[in-house]
Amino acid sequence: MHHYLSAADLDRPAAEGLLRRAQALKAAWQSGGHRRDAHGALPLQGQTLALVFEKPSLRTRVAFEAGMTQLGGHGSYLSANDIDMGGRESVPDVARNLSRWVQAIAARVFKHGTVETLARHASIPVINALSDREHPCQALADMLTLLEHRGTLAGLRLAYLGDGNNVCHSLLLLGATLGVHVGVACPPDYRPDPDILAHAERLAAAHGAMITVSSSPAEVVQGADAIYTDVWASMGQEHEAARRRPVFQPYQVNQGLLALARPDALVMHCLPAHRGEEITADVIDGPQSVVFDQAENRLHVQKALILTLLRKDEV
């Protein structure tokens, strides 16, 4: 694996290996820090990750920057105003320039094609830190969170409610690869991309999982081990928020819907959350919520991903 652009870039052994590595990194950090070599250097001493962000960010930016610092490296943040990809400089030229200075690129973009173009023209690893098509780093953190709380992934039932968006796409692909049964409930006009859905179904068939898509929240949530939701209008769709609100209202995660899942079902959200819209405050702030575990785990899975892409053996 030279790049990580899609959750589908990982086969099952690679995905499981990344999660094990993230667990080890998390344990090492909680025990006092990461291992240094015989010369006292951390694994990414002198290494730089370029953070090319067309969109604002809290979790993605801080988790990447903090992760690089913890491993001895540095994160260099470049906003849309700094680069203006496709405007001031072409995407291929950005990729070629950064390849001469840094060791990896994490790109948070609007169009998925932008991160694909970066990868085609870069001689260094490129990570999709979010695009309109996928959010594969978030899916890794979500699977690590499920693994921590349930001890296994294969056979778990994950119910996703709301927009069939980038987060939903990555959950479908990575969940299917890891043997997680993923059910999606969304309005008919907001279903996941058909190509991604078909890909997830093929992966599920190969790994003993099931993919279901329904317009009925109750059907998908029934007996679920975890309920996941996201905002109804993502970044770049704010102008659609008022129109979407009544369409998505039946998909709100609230106490009534939570009661249909397993009694110990986890509540998940990739954040930021709009309390009172896609999820009620009492549910997201309640005892079954693991949303901040998901946020914390972004740090550890992204460290594991960077070390793997840069072929670093150190834990």
Domain range holding 86? 7-135+298-309
pLDDT confidence of residue 54: 96
- The one catalytic residue in 47, 103, 138, 302 is 138
- The one catalytic residue in 230, 244, 252, 269 is 230
Q: Is the pTM of this model over 0.95?
A: yes
pLDDT tens string 153-164: 999 999 999 999
Residues 15 and 163 grouped into a single domain: no
Residues 272 and 304 grouped into a single domain: no
pLDDT tens string 4-40: 999 999 999 999 999 999 999 999 999 999 989 888 9
| Residue 195 within a domain | yes
| Residue 1 within a domain | no
Assign residue 233 the CATH number of its domain. 3.40.50.1370
**Which strands form 226-229's sheet, in the order they lie side by side?**
211-214, 181-185, 157-161, 226-229, 266-269
- Whether 108 is catalytic is yes
Residues 33 and 159 grouped into a single domain: no
* Contact present, 220 and 159 (Cβ < 8 Å): yes
CA distance 94 to 100: 10
Residues 95 and 161 grouped into a single domain: no
- The one catalytic residue in 133, 244, 298, 300 is 298
Pairing of strands 211-214, 181-185: parallel
- Whether 36 is catalytic is no
Residues 172 and 154 grouped into a single domain: yes
- Whether 262 is catalytic is no
- The one catalytic residue in 21, 108, 157, 300 is 108
CA distance 183 to 91: 36
Residues 175 and 89 grouped into a single domain: no
- Whether 11 is catalytic is no
pLDDT confidence of residue 291: 98
Q: E-assigned strands of 30-81?
A: 48-53, 74-79
| Residue 145 within a domain | yes
Residues 160 and 283 grouped into a single domain: yes
Q: How confident is the model at residue 49 (pLDDT cuts 50, 70, 90)?
A: very high
CB atoms within 10 A of CB 7: 30
Residues 272 and 149 grouped into a single domain: yes
- Whether 243 is catalytic is no
Q: How confident is the model at residue 274 (pLDDT cuts 50, 70, 90)?
A: very high
| Residue 19 within a domain | yes
- The one catalytic residue in 47, 103, 270, 294 is 270
Residues 81 and 209 grouped into a single domain: no
| Residue 243 within a domain | yes
Give the rounded percent of residues in the chain with a pLDDT score beyond 70: 99
- Whether 298 is catalytic is yes
Residues 118 and 211 grouped into a single domain: no
The SS3 assignment for 76 reads strand
- The one catalytic residue in 135, 181, 244, 300 is 135
Residues 158 and 91 grouped into a single domain: no
Domain count, the chain: 2
